[in-house]
Amino acid sequence: MKSKLRVVGSTERLRSLVALWLVLFFITATLLAGEKYLALNQPDGIALLPPPPVPNSAEQAADLASARAVFQAAPPEEKARAEKYAFLTIFKFAPVIGEYFKHGKVPKTEAFFDKVKASLGNSINPAKEYWKRERPYQADATLSYGKPESSYSYPSGHSAVGTVQALILGELFPDKREAILEIGRSIGWDRVVIGKHFPTDVYAGRTLAQAIVRELKTNPDFQRDFAEAKAEVRAALASQTPGK
């Protein structure tokens, strides 16, 4: 009888554990599904972008010559700056937005852009993997600067992310839009300066970014979070105004 009770008890515990596991699984799946604003290949960079120059073609030679000219013309301090500030954070834009725009001061906005950034690989990475373009320093070892990259060259992820960040920030701070967009452009171009990308990689990243922002704006979660970020930055800006 005791043995039978032990078996029944063990069975009930097993059922409880399985039920708990299923609940946790569905909760986790729901949370993961909500982590990104973009579905895989939305927008489809492979369909949207033209192919990069074909290896050993005249176009490729011209693109490499351009990359080489930019790399060779950049002084050491410019290369050092481009390498140091290669990390992709919205606070790169603080010099033109304002000193109040810093880590920890606008938490909803920061979380919103973290989610935006986490979403972008769904569009950028499939295109990189499809074309598998080598980077300039792989075509010409004299263009090597800093650590090598593990991903492919086309389109430029830095250019795409920097442009997406700039386009969205430009809507949050319309009076500073042009200065914000200029920083977004420099994020991509800095990658040419240090031999990580061809100019055509950067242009493709900017084009893809525009399509990504259009797609993001169709997502209800993005719309809600953008509105919350906008309210937060307006409140932060108002707090900087004398007499507030």
Residues 58 and 99 in one domain: yes
Residues 104 and 225 in one domain: yes
Residues 103 and 219 in one domain: yes
Residues 81 and 99 in one domain: yes
Residue 243 lies in a domain: no
> In Å, how far from its chain's centre is CA 187?
12
Cα–Cα dist 44/13, whole Å:
47
Cα–Cα dist 229/232, whole Å:
5
Residues 113 and 185 in one domain: yes
Locate tokens 């050092």: which residue?
Answer: 80
Q: Coil, helix or strand for 51?
A: coil
Cα–Cα dist 159/139, whole Å:
20
Question: Whole-prediction pTM value?
Answer: 0.84
Cα–Cα dist 44/28, whole Å:
27
Residue 186: what pLDDT?
Answer: 97
CB-neighbour burial class of residue 2 (10 A; exposed 0-12, middle 13-18, buried 19+): exposed
Cα–Cα dist 188/199, whole Å:
9
Residues 116 and 21 in one domain: no
Locate tokens 């693109």: which residue?
Answer: 63
Q: Which structure tokens are listed for 49?
A: 């972008």
Residue 138: what pLDDT?
Answer: 97
Residues 131 and 18 in one domain: no
Residues 52 and 18 in one domain: no
Residue 163 lies in a domain: yes
> Which long-range CB contacts under 8 A does 183-188 form with residues at least 24 apart?
183/92, 183/93, 183/95, 183/96, 186/162, 187/88, 187/92, 187/158, 187/159, 187/161, 187/162, 187/163, 188/156, 188/158, 188/159, 188/160, 188/162, 188/163
Query: How many structural domains does the chain have?
Result: 2
Q: Taking every pair of C-alpha atoms in the chain, what is the biggest distance, in angstroms?
A: 88
> Which residue, 28, 231, 219, 3, is CA-closest to 119?
219
**167: domain CATH number?**
1.20.144.10
**Residue 15: domain span:** 1-33
Residues 54 and 172 in one domain: yes
Residue 159 lies in a domain: yes
Residue 244 lies in a domain: no
Residues 10 and 100 in one domain: no
Digits of tens for pLDDT over the chain (244 positions)?
A: 545 545 445 556 545 443 433 333 333 333 344 579 999 999 999 999 999 999 999 999 999 999 999 999 999 999 999 999 999 999 999 999 998 999 999 999 999 999 999 999 999 999 999 999 999 999 999 999 999 999 999 999 999 999 999 999 999 999 999 999 999 999 999 999 999 999 999 999 999 999 999 999 999 999 999 999 999 999 998 887 655 4
Residues 3 and 71 in one domain: no
Residues 83 and 20 in one domain: no
Residue 200 lies in a domain: yes
Residue 46 lies in a domain: yes
